[in-house]
Amino acid sequence: YEQPNAIRDTYRGRLLADKGIIKMAGVDDNLDRISKANRILIVGCGTSWHAGLVAEYIFEDMARIPVEVEYASEFRYRNPVITENDVVIAISQSGETADTMAAIKLAKEKGAFVFGVCNVVGSSISRETMAGAYTHAGPEIGVASTKAFTTQITVLTLMALKLGKYKGTISASDFRLHLQALEAIPQKVEKLLQSDKVIKEIAETYKNTRNCIYLGRGYNFPVALEGALKLKEISYIHAEGYPAAEMKHGPIALIDEEMPVVVIAVRKGHYEKVVSNIQEIKSRKGKIISVVTEGDTEVKELADHVIEIPETIESFTPLLTTIPLQLLSYHIAVMLGKNVDQPRNLAKSVTV
Ligand code: F1P
C-alpha cells in the first residue's frame, strides 16, 4: 500500500517530465562511461535479481546496450570474463547481502565500473560501489521485498531512459511519452489497489493449494518469477514461475484440475500468444487466475478469475502487474495464519 508514494518518492526531484529531463547524479557523472559499456551485467539475489531481469528488457529496448543478469550468489563463485568496458549494476534492497557484496568485489578486481542500486543510505553496498542511485522506498518492514521491487524498477527505468536519450537510441517523442507514463504510475497503483476485495476472494478459493504455477511473457516473465517467490516466501506454498512459452517444454505435464495457474496476460506485447497459452491450460482443466488490462474481454471469457490493472505502456506494466500478485500471497499467508512480516527461515539481509 505504500507503493504509490514509494514510486513517487523515487522519481521525485529526478524526473522533470514537463522539461523532458531526468537528473541522476550517479549516472550524470558517469554518463559517457556507462553509455559506452560493451555490456551491462546485473547482479542481485531474490527479488533484486528479478528487478534485474526486468531491467534487462528496459536497457536493451531503450539504450540498446547488451545486458546479462546473474544471481550474485552464483556469479561470485565463477571465474567470469569481465573487462574494463563492462558496467556491473548491483541491486540490493538492504545493501548488506553478502553474496552481492562478494560479486561487487570480484567485478571491481576485474576492472569493471560498478554501480549500485540500494534502498539503504550508507549501507555496505552503497559504500563499496563506485557510483549509484538510491530507491527512496523507505524501510521495508517485512522480510520479503515488495516496494523495493517496484522502486528498483523505477530507478533502473530512469537510468535506461537517460542512457537512451544520451545515445540517441530512443526518439525524443518516445522519451517524453515514457516520462509522462512513468509520472502516471503512482495513481494507477492507487487505482489497482482497489481490487483488493477480488484478490481476497481468489486467495480464499486457493489458500489450500499445495502448488501453483505463474506464467508471463516479455516484460512480465520476471513478474511471474517474482509472484511465485512471494508465494513461497510468505505462504510456504510451492510455486514456480516460467516464461509462458516455456510451459510446453515441461511444466505443462503438471497441469490438471488441481493446479492453479496465474497468468499475466496484459493487452500488450505478445497478448495473443498468452491467450493461446491460457487455452492450453484450460483444455487440461487447470484453474486460471489472470492479471489483465482493464476492459479485457478475451481472457475474461477463458479465465476462472481475473484481476484488472490500468492501461500503461508495455515497459511499465511490471510496476502494476506485480502488486496484485504480492497481495494474493499476502492474503493467502494471512488466511493460513503465517507471519507475513517474519517468515520462517528467512533473514532480512542475508549476511553470510
Ligand atoms: C535479497 C533477498 C530479498 C528477499 C529476502 C532475502 O535481499 O533475497 O529479495 O526478499 O529478504 O534477501 P537484498 O539484497 O535485496 O537486500
Per-residue model confidence (pLDDT) at position 264: 97
Provide the edge-to-edge strand list for the sheet that holds 238-243: 238-243, 211-216, 260-265, 287-293, 305-309
Report the predicted TM-score, pTM, of the whole model to 2 decimal places.
Answer: 0.97
Given the CA of residue 46, which atom of ligand 1 is nearest to it?
8
Gap from CA of 9 to ligand 1 centroid (Å): 21
The answer, yes or no, to whether ipTM is higher than 0.85 is yes
With a 6 A CB cut-off, is 145 part of the ligand 1 pocket?
A: yes
Confidence of residue 300 (pLDDT cuts 50, 70, 90): very high
Per-residue model confidence (pLDDT) at position 188: 98
Per-residue model confidence (pLDDT) at position 244: 95
Gap from CA of 92 to ligand 1 centroid (Å): 7
d(C-alpha 125, C-alpha 148), whole Å: 15
Per-residue model confidence (pLDDT) at position 350: 82
Per-residue model confidence (pLDDT) at position 268: 82
CB neighbourhood size of 300 (10 A): 14
The yes-or-no verdict on residue 270 having pLDDT over 90 is no
Per-residue model confidence (pLDDT) at position 287: 98
Given the CA of residue 125, which atom of ligand 1 is nearest to it?
14
Read off the pLDDT of residues 43-82 as tens digits, 9 standing for 90 and up: 999 999 999 999 999 999 999 999 999 999 999 999 999 9
The yes-or-no verdict on residue 126 having pLDDT over 90 is yes
Per-residue model confidence (pLDDT) at position 205: 98
Per-residue model confidence (pLDDT) at position 192: 96
Read off the pLDDT of residues 127-148 as tens digits, 9 standing for 90 and up: 999 999 999 999 888 889 999 9
The yes-or-no verdict on residue 37 having pLDDT over 90 is yes
Sketch out the chain's domains with CATH numbers: 3-183 (3.40.50.10490), 190-335 (3.40.50.10490)
Per-residue model confidence (pLDDT) at position 100: 98
User: Considering only CA atoms, which residue is closest to atom 8 of ligand 1?
Assistant: 46
The yes-or-no verdict on residue 349 having pLDDT over 90 is no
Place of cell 521485498: 145
Per-residue model confidence (pLDDT) at position 347: 83
The yes-or-no verdict on residue 352 having pLDDT over 90 is no
**Quick check: is 348 catalytic?**
yes
Q: What are phi and psi of 71, to 5 degrees?
A: -60, 130
Asked if 101 contacts 124 with a C-beta cutoff of 8 angstroms, the reply is: yes
Give, for ligand 1, the residue of 45, 50, 101 to mutate: max count of ligand atoms closer than 8 Å to Cβ: 45
Q: What is the mean pLDDT of residues 195-220?
A: 97
Give, for ligand 1, the residue of 120, 231, 350, 351 to mutate: max count of ligand atoms closer than 8 Å to Cβ: 350
Given the CA of residue 348, which atom of ligand 1 is nearest to it?
11
The yes-or-no verdict on residue 218 having pLDDT over 90 is yes
Average pLDDT in the chain? 96
Gap from CA of 47 to ligand 1 centroid (Å): 6
User: Considering only CA atoms, which residue is closest to atom 5 of ligand 1?
Assistant: 144
With a 6 A CB cut-off, is 54 part of the ligand 1 pocket?
A: no
Per-residue model confidence (pLDDT) at position 232: 97
Per-residue model confidence (pLDDT) at position 289: 98
| Beta-carbon contacts of residue 257 (< 8 Å; ≥ 6 apart) | 285, 286, 287
| Beta-carbon contacts of residue 49 (< 8 Å; ≥ 6 apart) | 43, 69, 71, 72, 91
Confidence of residue 182 (pLDDT cuts 50, 70, 90): very high
Percent of the chain with pLDDT over 70: 100
